[in-house]
Structure 1
Amino acid sequence: MSEGDLRAGRTRRLEHRLGNWARARLPGPVRDLVMFTLKMGWSALFGGLLLIAILLSKSVWQPDWALERYDALFLFAVAVQALFLALRMESGAEARVILLFHITGTAMELFKTWAGSWAYPEPAFFRIAGVPLFSGFMYASVGSFIARAIRNFDMRYVPYPPFPATVLLAVAIYVNFFAHHYLPDIRWLLFAATILIYGRTWIWFRISRWYRLPMVISAFLASLFLWIAENIGTHTGTWLYAGQNEAQLVSFAKIGSWYLLLYVSFVTVTLAAPGAIINARRPRDATHPIAEPQRQG
């Protein structure tokens, strides 16, 4: 066994011990709710730390400091990602998927800032054209959350749709984010396609017992939380949409954009945890009446 595997094992055991310690001290009626909240927070650690850094840097940064705020955010994100890998809080496979999120997210940022959809008003050294490099880590934090949540909740996607259909949908969604500047926006067709393709899919997740949630509902709830997080970014002036000022809420239409982008994320994450997503079987010990699955043919 390699040193990396040993560190990963120690990290997993520590996570389990902390979870067991908290679970043993919680009253029964609220135990699963509190544990769900803790697991979600632990899964979103990378994104949460990045949001905290955005808020703190906005409150303390001075324009005459030698290091620009965007560059500090970039260096902070790189350091956190390196720490996660060193402590085996993310696996190598998960890191590769997060890198894909970073690349595809940065590509979208380059196009969208060029098209005038949004802008980053502050200067930076670590940037490509008008896009500071820390911005790619905001997309990477979504990939980090999904990959870590799959592991922390032992998630299963049952039944997972035919993989070619999911890839085709993901590509169509991603292309539409670019093409709608020149061609008719087909997002309403894409919304319908998500229901058609994923409408039968349930996400199974385990706390003290198994629960399940329709995948389309899960994607909507996740997009709502991402919209809230995005308002933190615009409220601090870290980025702004065209015609928006720091006091204005991000358009509610962006919830739909995040909803669609999450399906691109789900397909990307299949590279990190295909066994948990594609062809996953229903949990054998899911016997609670609320969580009992329908029989599959």
Structure 2
Amino acid sequence: MGGTMNVLRRMPIPKPLTALFAFGWQQALSCVFPVCIFAVILLTKVVDIPVIPEYDFVLLVCILVQWGMVRWGLETMDELKVICVFHLIGLALEIYKIHMGSWAYPQESWTKVFGVPLYSGFMYASVASYLCQAWRRMNVRLQHWPRTAYIVPMGAAIYLNFMTHHYIPDLRWMLTVLLVPLFRRTYVDFDVLGVTRRMHVLLSFLLIGWFIWLAENMATFLGAWQYPDQRNGWSMVHLGKLSSWFLLVIVSFMIVAQLKHVKKEQRRGA
């Protein structure tokens, strides 16, 4: 990767374009695991997988990819632990949402738990993988990150609202409004070609959520899961889902940031 960055520095193109390309390259490298998931889902649509159901084949490949990323140094053991936590969190949310009829996994599978194939947890884990990879590759630093006493209740409220809105009014917009004062002074610093760049953390959440929404459209088109309005044929995922991904990214980022903070404190105390 260092060689690629050196080549970019020597290219006779304007520095802003070079920096933009370098940023995109780092983002692409951080998306190795999500790309692998989409690649295997696409493969199951163009090739008949013998012996094993499609959902189980995707699960097997996800496990092998995770093993390979750790084995060849693309992912650390600490990052793998974070991804496993996200797999469990995502799987719990999936089981609940399936029970409420929010979406469905119509195909047969040996590894379904309460109607949810185990590979689905990796869809959430891929978000964590991206965050961890980007954090390390771009040397992410947080400026004016809110206190834990504020972050933990907010993260819990956002996650629980994904479940409770089936019984009580949806509080997502109220929670979104509360994020403004909570993160009003919070910025993300990151390095591109040795230069520190800065972005407001809420803008970064929105951009990540936007790309996940685009990926969700690709995933439903490929049959990774199915919303009720897609039973008679694929249609674009409602733009309103962008708000859900925006909030889910925030929960994911909160967890990763808190774990990074804990790890940093442990190193200081060592």
| Secondary structure at the counterpart of residue 151 of structure 2 | helix
Task: Give me the CA root mean square deviation.
Answer: 1.8
Task: Say if 1:23 and 1:17 are closer, same or farther in 2 by CA, change over 3 A.
Answer: same
Per mean C-alpha deviation after superposition, the further-off stretch among 244-253 and 134-143 is: 244-253
CA contact (8 A) 1:32 1:207 kept: yes
Structure 1: tracts of 5 or more residues without a match: 1-14, 279-297
DSSP-derived class of the 1:234 partner:
helix
- TM-score, L = length of structure 2: 0.92
**Contact 2:26 2:137 survives alignment (8 Å):** yes
**Residue in 2 that maps onto 1:153:** 138
2:268 aligned residue:
none
Q: Secondary structure at the match of 1:240?
A: coil
Identity of aligned residues (%): 34
**Length, aligned pairs only:** 262
Q: Distance in 1 between matches of 2:140 and 2:244?
A: 24
TM superposition shift of 1:255: 0.4
Task: After TM superposition, list the pairs within 5 Å mapping 1:7-156 onto structure 2.
Answer: 15-25=1-11, 27-29=13-15, 30-61=17-48, 65-156=50-141
Match of residue 255, structure 1, among 234, 242, 249:
242
- Which residue of structure 2 lines up, in the alignment, with residue 177 of structure 1? 162
Q: Is structure 2 residue 266 aligned with structure 1 residue 267?
A: no
Deviation at 1:270, TM superposition (A): 2.4
Alpha-carbon distance in structure 1 between the residues aligned to 2:197 and 2:262: 19
SS in 2 for 1:203: strand
Amino acid across the alignment from 1:231: N
C-alpha distance in structure 1 between counterparts of 2:263 and 2:4, whole Å: 24
User: d(CA) in 1 for partners of 2:246 and 2:135?
Assistant: 18
| 1:234 corresponds to 2:220 | yes
Contact kept in structure 2, 1:155 and 1:276, CA below 8 Å = no
Structure 1 segments of 4 or more deviating over 3 A?
21-26, 275-278
Separation of aligned partners in 1, 2:108 and 2:12: 48
Partner of 1:162: 147
Q: Would the aligned equivalents of 1:120 and 1:131 in 2 still touch at CA under 8 Å?
A: yes
Unaligned runs of 5+ in 2: 266-270
Residue deviations 1:130-149, cap 9 Å, x none? 10111000100000000110
TM-score norm. by structure 1 comes to 0.84
- After TM superposition, give the deviation of residue 25 of structure 1 in Å: 4.1
